[in-house]
Amino acid sequence: MIAPLNSDEGEQHIHFVVRVHQAHMTYQHLLAIWQAADDLGYDGASLYDLLAAPCLECWTTLTMLTMATHRLYGIPMVLSHTYRHPKLEEGIQLIRFLWSGQEGPFKSRFYGTVEGGGYPRPMQPGGPPILVGGHGEHYVLRSVARVADLCNVGFDLSLEQWQHYKETLERAAEEEGRTLASIGLTHNATVILGSSAEMIRMGVERYALVRGLSAEAARQRLAHALVGTPEQCVARLQAYVRLGIRSFFLMFPDLPDLASLQLFATTVLPAFRSGKP
């Protein structure tokens, strides 16, 4: 998954992940997206694991796609573990125990007593970073503070919302004996990119049509999304980076069409691949 973030802000790599909601997509669609993202310089791509969605199963498909690419991190998002409340935090503790190589026993309320370590062991020492996400602040941010490496909350949040969540997360982390700097902040962003006002308008209209929204409802929903020219998107991303966000999960509404994916890679990514911002 995403490599642990460096605490030195000036040297941090800004991660860009293509967030794919694969409902109604074929494997050929996903393969084309994955290989394009791999070639274009994105850091990763994700699939979701929604139990009720009409889509290819997350883990099997993710394994196949990872084998078909060279450098792209494959990321499972929205795992079905969230449907098994209240086991989330204890489940993560058990996963970390299995990754650690310890022989046990691991005693838990919901999983009983587990003996022995997990196999095969993860390639990364201690296992890959664990991301906890959701909507709202009271339960999600508390769970993040307790057990997560990465925080993923909300969608298309404004800078003001993020500032509030940061302050709330910092207090929760301190109460759990952690620091905010030990938790990576990740941002979900809808991307509607265009080189002209007409292209942007058409993209917003397509977004509204697919979701059955009025033009005004679409504009309100996209108020804090990455909607605009490449220069406008770079400026907005830079503001989030200054706030402390180092990983962006990008939702391209026109997928499996690759036009926006390619345009973002050629016009926006370079601003974050040369020591900027």
The dihedral sign for the CA sequence 260, 264, 266, 267: positive
Average pLDDT, integer, range 212-226: 94
Domain 12-83+129-272 is found in CATH 3.30.450.40: no
Q: How far, in Å, CA of 184 to CA of 255, rounded?
A: 27
DSSP 146-194: HH-SEEEESSS--HHHHHHHHHHHHHHHHHTT--GGGSEEEEEEEEEE-
pLDDT at 115: 85
pLDDT at 66: 94
pLDDT of 7 higher than 50:
no
Strand (E) positions, 49-141? 73-77, 106-108, 112-114, 131-134
Domain boundaries, the chain: 12-83+129-272
CB 134 within 8 A of CB 153: yes
Confidence of residue 52 (pLDDT cuts 50, 70, 90): confident
pLDDT in tens, 123-181: 888 889 999 988 878 888 999 999 999 999 999 999 999 999 999 999 999 999 999 99
CB 117 within 8 A of CB 100: yes
Confidence of residue 83 (pLDDT cuts 50, 70, 90): low
pLDDT at 276: 47
Residue 137 burial by Cβ neighbours in a 10 Å radius (0-12, 13-18, 19+):
middle
